[in-house]
Amino acid sequence: MREYGQFYIGGQWVDPAQPQPDDVVNPATEQVAGRIALGGTSDVDRAVEAARAAFETFSQTSPADRGELLSRVIEEYKKRAEDLAAAVTEEMGAPAKLATTAQVGMGLGHLVTASKVLADYPFEEDRGTTRIVREPVGVCAFITPWNWPLNQITCKVAPALATGCTMVLKPSEEAPFSAYLLAEIMDAAGVPAGVFNLVNGDGPTVGAALAAHPQVDMISITGSTRAGVEVAKAAAPTVKRVHQELGGKSPNIILDDDAFEKGVKIGAAGVWANSGQSCNAPTRMLVPAARMDEAAAIAKASAEKVTVGDPTGEVKMGPVVSKAQYDKIQGLIQQGVDEGASLVAGGTGRPDGLDTGYYVKPTVFANVSNDMTVAREEIFGPVLVILPYESVDQAIEIGNDTPYGLAAYVSGSDQDTVRKVASRLRAGQVNLNGAAVDLNAPFGGYKQSGNGREWGQTAFADFLETKAVIGYTPAEA
């Protein structure tokens, strides 16, 4: 049983002002795995005050000093890699191999990438007689989710540290263990007191207090579109910077050529990964109408090969994070059946032999129309919907017919055609032919998928203010 009842504020572990114990449930066992304390507005005030005080000195540090600090954080992170992976598996159900290679690996990747970008980032440049200076935005508040906890925390924390910002983190109360360990890593690495602070709590209390706080200069949230809207509303009166990475319902256009089978297989596998709990998962597959049955058969075979079970063992898919999430997914699967989509794999209920744990069957719907609920709503589970198209133009039209715009996918044997399709898709990141993750590629969305960009060099801009010093270099007489 993990007991994490304190917050990390001002370089110390401190007790909450008014402790509110909260159980954290292991989704694989449905048993309480640990206990945290939920904070309140006074805890937020204390953390923000610490961050504000630290900003006065940390904002004046040199890029070289911050580079050394990031190097120490990276070394401490590596030392705790096994602990971090075990925490992620326990708190949100990621299979052990996925937790080690991807969940923990992505966190390390963002830290290393930020360190490399920092080495030669242009914080200052001259344009004629004017010097353009890029300075840290100030105190940043981070609200992060449970699905990729370390990925979503580090892709905010790493550029914030690199650019000289201070911060207060509110991780998801569903998956707080890895965030607590990260605070221990920051402490061990010698991050100056007040630069990194952690306060556990729920969205309506701690999240809302951070968004509205007059001494917070930037609020960055990764979560649902609904939550992003609420944060923006709370932040509006103080005119702070609002940075959002929100929902998605990503189209995956499979072109009609000899790469069709491979494209369907890669697309389906991308839905089963992390139990479908990825905002950029390729959950809306578009295939030529004449090849619908073929696509359905390939996807069905893919779903039926997925091993589901105890995430501490050798399985491809563990549970979803909570009972609430499980119930939501079950309801949407049933709605797909009720609205007339063809269920070709999976369905409601747990997989055979699994009577405990929030396990969902890898599910495939074929012959889906884009007005069906399963094609419109972000299910956030291992549910693939396959839609037909008559022409590439129609596929692009259907692909863009969504309130979201986080990611999109295209596969085909002709690279020029694939590129042309990608150029017409309204999404912040388009993946071609199953390309590997690129941590230097900007990540973020169009439309209701949010604003701003994370990852790599582009992420630095959201943590910096731009100052023009006119006459910095006097003009020659």
Residue 363 in 3-state DSSP? strand
Residue 408 in 3-state DSSP? strand
- pLDDT tens by residue, 415-459: 999 999 999 999 999 999 999 999 999 999 999 999 999 999 999
Q: What percent of the chain has pLDDT over 70?
A: 100
Q: How far apart are the first and last CA of the chain?
A: 74
- At residue 477, does pLDDT exceed 60? no
- Alpha helices, DSSP H only, in 93-148? 96-98, 104-119
Model confidence at 475, pLDDT cuts 50, 70, 90, reads: confident
Q: Average pLDDT in the 362-375 region?
A: 98
- At residue 263, does pLDDT exceed 70? yes
Return the structure tokens found at 378.
């972000």
Model confidence at 280, pLDDT cuts 50, 70, 90, reads: very high
Q: What percent of the chain has pLDDT over 90?
A: 99
- Selecting among 76, 245, 378, 454, the annotated active-site residue is 245
Query: By the 8 A CB rule, do 105 and 154 touch?
Result: no
- Selecting among 173, 174, 279, 454, the annotated active-site residue is 279
Q: Average pLDDT in the 146-165 region?
A: 98
Q: Average pLDDT in the 110-123 region?
A: 98
Q: Average pLDDT in the 269-292 region?
A: 98
- Please, what are the domains in the chain? 2-246+447-469 (3.40.605.10), 251-432 (3.40.309.10)
* DSSP 8-state secondary structure symbol assigned to residue 390: S
Residue 453 in 3-state DSSP? coil
Alpha-carbon gap, residue 409 to 432, rounded angstroms: 6
In 3D space, the residue among 12, 57, 4 whose CA is nearest the CA of residue 197 turns out to be: 12
Which residue(s) pair with 143 in the sheet?
170, 221
Query: By the 8 A CB rule, do 177 and 89 touch?
Result: no
Active-site annotation holds for 76:
no
Residue recorded with tokens 């956030």: 380
Active-site annotation holds for 3:
no
